[in-house]
Amino acid sequence: AKTSGKNRYHLFNPAFYEAMRLRTRREKELRAAIAENQFVMHYQARVDCKSGKVTSLEALVRWNHPAEGLLGPDEFIGLAEETGLILNLGELVIDLVCTQIAQWEHGVYGGVPVSINVSSRQFNERDIRESIASALARHAIDASSVEIELTESSMVVDPVRTADNLQAIHALGVKLLVDDFGTGYSSLSMLHNMSFDVLKVDKSFTSRLGVDENGEVFFRAIITMAHSLGMRVVAEGVETAEQARILEALQCDELQGFYLFRPVPAEQLPDSLELQANA
Ligand code: C2E
Ligand code: CA
Ligand code: CA
Ligand code: CA
């Protein structure tokens, strides 16, 4: 009786209706935003520990909402995934990134690969290989200028199909990165069999460096194993000089985070690939 009372309260709770109304409005707005392309990409550099040079840029989508201004992915990617709109948004993102890469061809960023975040629905319900291949052809850009970031959770849905898919994308010459590594349930050997090139260790591990021993122990083990399997390791979410120092000592290959560079629109990227002062 208590439970049904709670449910009844929930159903007639004005806040519940308000949330539903907001969600329906957002979904409508998101649909229009995709049709009108209200999206812009920001780019965050990754830096090689040894050379201090920018090795790659991560493309991070933002919604330029007509009334509310620039919205981050946390405010709309979840809804896009639930509603399936991510399939069209994902195509749009691939196109925006490839347009940018083509524009960069003769500048400082010509030849610097850009990594694209792909969500599990895009990966499992679309022929993502075909999407990428046709975008590369349409914009006349090389496969080596694009990388794909995929979380471990995207692979558990159908590991066999995922492995085939990844193999096909890899065969194009596109590098594959595991995103948020350490937060899912995959083993390194499984990831190795799926032909990943790079592990991006989740920022929750980076934030523990210098705080307790666990962060360091985790990175040390991952780096040793990843290297023996021929994969590079990127630390995400590097925010302090101390974290950067520890990661360099641990032979981490690349760093990414606010301490080095923040995500910015293409025109605000540093005009040199050499790491200078902290952004
Ligand atoms: P992610 O792929 O793990 O991206 C890293 C997020 O951490 C970005 O947030 C970035 O701005 C933020 N970040 C970078 N350095 C630091 C740091 O030093 N400290 C902290 N605290 N945060 C840092 P953002 O741009 O809000 O993106 C959030 C998530 O949204 C991404 O997480 C990714 O999962 C998703 N996302 C972004 N763009 C796309 C896209 O084009 N397609 C899809 N499907 N998902 C996207
Ligand atoms: Ca990512
Ligand atoms: Ca990540
Ligand atoms: Ca994430």
Distance 179 CA to ligand 2 centre (A): 5
Ligand 2 centroid to Cα of residue 117, in Å, is 5
- Ligand nearest to the Cα of 234, by number: 3
Return the pLDDT at 1.
Answer: 43
Of the listed ligands, the closest to the CA of 91 is 1
- Is the complex ipTM higher than 0.85? yes
Give me the pLDDT at residue 2, please.
47
Q: Which atom of ligand 1 is nearest to the CA of 86?
A: 44
CB 39 less than 6 A from any atom of ligand 1:
no
3-state secondary structure the chain: CHHHHHHHHHHCCHHHHHHHHHHHHHHHHHHHHHHHCCEEEEEEEEEECCCCEEEEEEEEEEEEECCCEEECHHHCHHHHHHHCCHHHHHHHHHHHHHHHHHHHCCCCCCCCCEEEECCHHHHHHCCHHHHHHHHHHHCCCCHHHEEEEEEHHHCCCCHHHHHHHHHHHHHHCCEEEEEEECCCCCCHHHHHHCCCCEEEECHHHHCCCCCCHHHHHHHHHHHHHHHHCCCEEEECCCCCHHHHHHHHHCCCCEECCCCCCCCEEHHHCCCCCECCCCC
The pTM of this model reads 0.94
Mean pLDDT, contiguous 10-residue spans, the chain (279 residues): 53 82 95 98 97 96 97 97 97 98 94 95 90 97 97 84 91 96 85 91 95 92 95 98 97 98 96 70
- Nearest-atom number in ligand 1 for the CA of 73 is 30
- Taking the centre of ligand 1 as the mean of its atom positions, its distance from the CA of residue 230, in whole angstroms, is 26
